[in-house]
Structure 1
Amino acid sequence: MKSAFAAIALACAATASFAQDKVTFLTSWYAQAEHGGYYQAVANGIYKKHGLDVTVKMGGPQVNAVQLVAAGQADFMMGKDFQVLAGLEQGVPMVTVGAIFQKEPQGMVTHPDVNSLADLKDKTILVATSGRSTWWPWLKLKYGFKDEQTRPYTSNMQPFFADKGLAQQGFPSSEPFTAEKAGQKVKFFLFADDGYPPYGNTIVTLQKTVKDKPEMVQRFVRATLEGWKSYMENPAAGNALIKQDNPKMDDEMLAYAHRKMKEMKFFDGGDAARLGAGVMTDARWKTTYDFMVSSGQLKPNPNWQQAYTLQFVKDLKVLP
């Protein structure tokens, strides 16, 4: 009897030491397939298995994710390399702890007569405000494009459909889907395929969180990667939660986006195929930092490497 009580006590102690940490994760936009692994980790109990009680909250045009994380209203956010490097310069001590996508999914939608990004030199390009401080300077440096050839992008594809002289920004899972549904033939060029350096869909938190709760951060990173691996294998559970948060997402749109992510190997391509999902490298981050400095988007910063840490992904080996 005594040994039975001892076993129960040990089990209780183990549970207490691995209590469910409450964690809030903020996505970058309304719920969609590009957020699927986070939702999958909730739906399939993967976060719970790692002692985490995770709430996934949607971002959107009115949500300032950096501000919310800095204020302690969210523990982690889905971020971008440029955003974190620029945040450091502005005194916001954020740090990237993993990269879900080995490529940034931003690209260009063109009409069928365009054969490469270089062909856009004489085209009018629709660029959103956010693009002017991220990928547009890269295109200008690489291909000699000019600001004069741009017009604002308004998330409406009708101007593009009506004018064969236009090209516009887009994501492989979104604008090409809209074009296909409208019966329009288009091409899509992923910037990463031409050397655009940032990672995509990164896990970002505060440096203080990494310092004070490294074990919790490690569990969150591992569980998230397991969620993404599960989502890429069978997205049904994650998609059900995505549709709850964002009823505008239908099965056809989610299936299209999931297929594109697999085709383009965002999660399991590049270094992830060899070193494990979520992996980042010093060399890749340096390329991004050097580009931001050379394009005038950042001042030289001797502490720029505080923008990321490899400690949570280097030995995980969650192979896709």
Structure 2
Amino acid sequence: MRSNRFDTGASALLAVTLALAMAGPARAADKVVFLTSWYAQAEHGGFYQAKATGLYEKAGLDVEIRMGGPQVNGLQLLLAGEADAIMGYDIQVLQAVEKGLPVVTVAASFQYDLQGMMTHDDVTSLAGIKDRAILVSSAGMTAWWPWLKKKYALSDAQVRAYTFNLQPFFADKNVVQQAYPSSEPFQAQEKGVPVNFHLFARDGYPPYGTTIVTTRKLAEGKPEAMRRFVAASMEGWKSYMENPAPANVLIKAANPKMSDGQIAFGITRLKALKVLGGEENVPIGTMTEARWKASYDYLVEAGLLKASTDWKRAFSLDFMPVLSAKAE
């Protein structure tokens, strides 16, 4: 860990922070290493936008964005001090708290988890998958599958292993599969296969998406610097939806396999799903205790979390006052 990470900052509000930074003497920027959950893509655009447009720099931060990937354990790296914050998942954090790990979610970029189901175009709702073969990954079996199974009276007998190969789906119209809105549907479009995407959150799946997770030591010990990071990141998301070009340069530099077409497809999907502000257009980054309680209740009922877990330690609403950016 570098010694200047998360030194206490001027003010919680980004605008006030910038004004004070301009008025006061120059000081070294606080170093922040932020680890994403996967290769660079549109779903990470707000963070890259904050970097590309100087929002982090204006907030007195020197932010390094590192990509995650299939062999990267973000939570482990966070706890080891190799990252100051990571892109996280509500279920992962609740289960970490159950184990006594000192991690906490401080903001949610998206009001919904982006997990959903891709079906052929003859299926118009999740209610229509009852008699279909369902491709589910091993991770999905211990995350959203218990929720979906109960919601639509599905059976484990319908499940087939999803290996992230779309050929079984393309070959059989009776097959449906897990998907993210800008990934598998884009591949289907490239193949000329008409599909529908069904977001689980639309049917009540409670977790947030693309969250910011840090350690309790940093959140509680250096809260002003974390507030500046959260605020600048959320402003980055607002900016990205207005003009994504600056971030897209960084995204493609980090992930050369990412095409302009897929990025554009992803942004279109994110806007259509209203992921930043939700249907109520709340401030970007918003979280509520009620939503976290809903995730806790689901996990306990599904046998994925002990009822004795202190679920309120999985998140902090102390960063809410800085989140002034609206999605629209």
TM-score, normalised to structure 1, is: 0.93
Residue in structure 1 matching 2:25, options 14, 18, 34:
14
| Aligned residue in 2 for 1:316 | 323
1:216 correspondence with 2:225:
yes
**Preserved contact between residue 102 and residue 270 of structure 1 (Cα < 8 Å):** no
Cα pair 2:98 2:309 within 8 Å, conserved: no
Q: How does 1:1-320 map to 2 (within 5 A)?
A: 14-16=25-27, 19-271=28-280, 273-274=281-282, 276-314=283-321, 316-320=323-327
| CA–CA separation in structure 2 for the residues paired with 1:133 and 1:14 | 51
3-state SS, counterpart of residue 247 of structure 1:
coil
Does the 8 Å CA contact 1:141/1:295 hold for their aligned counterparts?
no
The DSSP-based 3-state class of the residue aligned with 1:96 is strand
Number of equivalences: 307
How far the C-alpha of 1:146 sits from its partner, in A, is: 1.5
Deviations 1:8-51 (A, max 9, x none): xx9795322xx300110000001100001111111111100000
1:217-257 per-position Cα deviation (integer Å, ceiling 9, x unaligned): 10000000011111011100101000001000011110110
Deviations 1:68-107 (A, max 9, x none): 0011100000001001001111222110000100011110
Q: How far apart are 1:63 and its partner, in Å?
A: 0.2
Over residues 139-198 of structure 1, what are the superposed CA-to-partner deviations in whole Å (9 max), with x where a residue is unaligned?
112112121211111111111010111000001111111111101011110000011100
Mapped contact 2:276–2:284 kept (Cα < 8 A):
yes
The DSSP-based 3-state class of the residue aligned with 2:25 is helix
Structure 2 stretches of 5 or more lacking a match?
1-20
- Please tell me whether Structure 1 or Structure 2 has the larger radius of gyration of its CA atoms: 1
Q: Helix, strand or coil: the match of 2:26? A: helix
Counterpart of 2:3 in structure 1 is: none
* Aligned-pair CA distance for 1:309: 0.6
Instruction: Give the partner amino acid of 1:282.
Output: E
Q: Quick one: which amino acid aligns to residue 15 of structure 1? A: A
Q: Is the 8 A contact 2:97 2:309 kept in 1?
A: no
**Partners of 2:234 and 2:323 within 8 A in 1:** no
Whichever residue aligns with residue 293 of structure 1, its letter is V
More helix by proportion, 1 or 2?
1
Within 2, Cα distance between the matches of 1:260 and 1:11? 38
Give the Cα separation in 1 of the matches to 2:195 and 2:265: 16
Q: Is the 8 A contact 1:97 1:310 kept in 2?
A: yes
Q: What SS is found at the alignment partner of 1:14?
A: coil
Distance 2:326 2:173 in 1: 43
User: 1:28·1:65 contact (CA, 8 Å) conserved in 2?
Assistant: yes
Q: How far did 1:315 drift? A: 5.1
Distance (whole Å) between structure 1 residues aligned to residue 254 and residue 261 of structure 2: 17
SS of the counterpart of 1:138? helix
1:314: Cα distance to partner?
4.0
Is the contact made by 2:98 and 2:310 (CA closer than 8 Å) also made in structure 1? no
Q: Which runs of 5+ in 1 are unaligned?
A: 1-9
TM-score, normalised relative to structure 2: 0.91
d(CA) in 1 for partners of 2:166 and 2:194?
Answer: 13
Q: Alpha-carbon deviation of 1:301? A: 2.6
Residue 115 of structure 1 deviates from its aligned partner by: 2.3
CA RMSD between the two structures? 1.4
